[in-house]
Amino acid sequence: MNATGPSSASADIVIVGTGHGGAQAAIGLRQQGHEGSIMMVGREPNPPYERPPLSKEYLAGDKAFERIMIRPEKFWADKDVELRLGSGVASIDWMRHTLTLSDGTQVGYRRLIWSGGADPRRLGIPGANLKGIFYVRDKRDADGMMAALEAGAKRAVVIGGGYIGLEAAAVLRKLDCEVTVVEMQDRLLARVAGTAISEFYAEEHTRQGVDIRLSQGVSEVVGDDGKVTGVLLDNGETLPCDMVIVGIGIVPAVAPLIAAGAAGSNGVDVDVFCRTTLDDIFAIGDCAAHANPFADSAVIRLESVQNANDMANTVAKAIMGDKQPYHALPWFWSNQYDLKLQTAGLNIGYDETIVRGDPATRKFTVIYMKEGRPIAFDCVGTMKDYVQGRKLLESEPGKIDAALLADTDVAIKEMI
Ligand code: FAD
């Protein structure tokens, strides 16, 4: 706020969040021929960039920031998209079609697209505020880790054996750190994958020198002089370390929307056109809870670049009068060491898994079945299975013989 009262601004379409969904919404609107003004408001100081490399090539130092930008900085000005960086949205008045930024600035809109993503879930144990604890969500987090490594950190404890924790572990091993992964469940990747994938990655990380502790909770982060020196496990053991990386899930960043009255209990609810329950407000990406057609219409949130981009395109089209319900096959990838995992479909509610190929060759596919139908593929180094598996799932297949799916001499495309 300044001496003369709060400043104000407005745009035809305001996009909140400069991540994957927000950036693609602006790109999609211009591609669809939208000529009105577009403003993107984002908390982060950087122009839109890709988040996946933060636990992969960027963290490893293999890609500079310029190479992970979603578009070169000048693109946004060329497309007449105003970027308000370093600005958080504090509240929304949907009846007046106005939002308030954290510095008090009022911003009017005709349509609002919320792509706020999520914040990392924080540790709630003693020692959680010590220096040397890192979350992995934005550039600042990755830069913090890189600075700690440069300053000589050599021993890391990764809390959480999900994709982000494991990717970070792989990079840290490559950088010659001693790494221990602590996971509360009895297997890695328990929330997202079947046991064949869990076991394969546990073996791979062990082979690469990572110490994996399953079925272990963390009761305290211990430190000295305000800085991390170790992690105390529930079993009483202390793992000495110089840094702690936390990957224990995310919390959708939707507080202003919910406070304004939008429906939602796990993120914000949206319909097939990504409309929230508030007039002229859409929501997309990690924070958008939707009935997914590839999960028997279960209401879920997806945390993937594919979902953020495809929802952004759904909204851009809907705003331009080309209303097409969101109907995109989910896909995802994870890179660890030299291994590339690609997933297609959603394995929610699977009742059987088929392993196609031999995990010992480090190239194999896991097919998730529900009532005799394939519903998802996890492909480790099997690009053909992934490409053809996507096509098969998009065809919404009926029952397929398990022996046929397991037979590597029969191409998946022959089953479409
Ligand atoms: P984000 O990209 O998170 O963007 C949200 C933006 O909104 C952020 O910049 C945030 O600061 C801002 N914001 C939030 N609240 C406010 C507010 N009130 N005011 C202003 N700005 C606000 N997905 C894959 O498919 N493959 C991968 O390999 C993969 N790897 C990943 C690795 C890491 C380390 C991380 C963190 C994520 C990874 N993901 C991956 C997930 C993927 O990056 C996300 O699903 C995707 O970024 C979601 O896009 P989004 O627009 O919903 O949110």
Residue 283, Cβ density class (10 Å: 0-12 exposed, 13-18 middle, ≥19 buried): buried
Mean pLDDT of 324-345: 98
> Which phi and psi (to 5°) does residue 340 adopt?
-115, 115
Instruction: Label residue 4 by pLDDT band (50, 70, 90).
Output: low
- Percent of the chain scored above 90 by pLDDT? 99
What is the separation of C-alpha 86 from the centre of its chain, rounded to a whole number of angstroms?
Answer: 21
pLDDT at site 380: 98
pLDDT digits (tens, 9 = 90+) for 53-86: 999 999 999 999 999 999 999 999 999 999 999 9
- pTM, to two decimals: 0.97
Model confidence at 256: pLDDT above 60: yes
Distance 164 CA to ligand 1 centre (A): 13
pLDDT at site 6: 75
- Tell me how far apart the alpha carbons of residues 308 and 375 are, in angstroms, rounded to a whole number: 21
By alpha-carbon position, which residue is closest to atom 30 of ligand 1? Answer: 52
- Tell me how far apart the alpha carbons of residues 258 and 115 are, in angstroms, rounded to a whole number: 14
Pocket of ligand 1, candidates 89, 138, 171, 286: which has the most ligand atoms within 8 Å of its Cβ, to mutate?
A: 286
- Residue 34 is encoded by which pair of tokens? 């939208």
- Tell me how far apart the alpha carbons of residues 147 and 151 are, in angstroms, rounded to a whole number: 6
Mean pLDDT of 174-198: 98
pLDDT digits (tens, 9 = 90+) for 96-144: 999 999 999 999 999 999 999 999 999 999 999 999 999 999 999 999 9
3-state secondary structure of 154: coil
- Tell me how far apart the alpha carbons of residues 274 and 277 are, in angstroms, rounded to a whole number: 10
Ligand 1 atom nearest to 24, measured from its CA = 51
Closest CA to 94 of 282, 274, 290, 251: 282
Mean pLDDT of 248-260: 98
Closest CA to 265 of 248, 280, 251: 251
Mean pLDDT of 173-200: 98
Ligand 1 atom nearest to 334, measured from its CA = 28
Distance 226 CA to ligand 1 centre (A): 30
Taking all residues of the chain, what is their mean pLDDT, rounded to a whole number?
Answer: 97
Model confidence at 1: pLDDT above 90: no
Where residue 344 falls (left for φ over 0; alpha for ψ -120 to 50; beta otherwise) is beta
> Which phi and psi (to 5°) does residue 344 adopt?
-135, 140
By alpha-carbon position, which residue is closest to atom 31 of ligand 1? Answer: 52
pLDDT digits (tens, 9 = 90+) for 158-167: 999 999 999 9
Distance 51 CA to ligand 1 centre (A): 6
pLDDT at site 32: 97
DSSP states along 321-361: T---------EEEEEETTEEEEEEE--TT--EEEEES-GGG
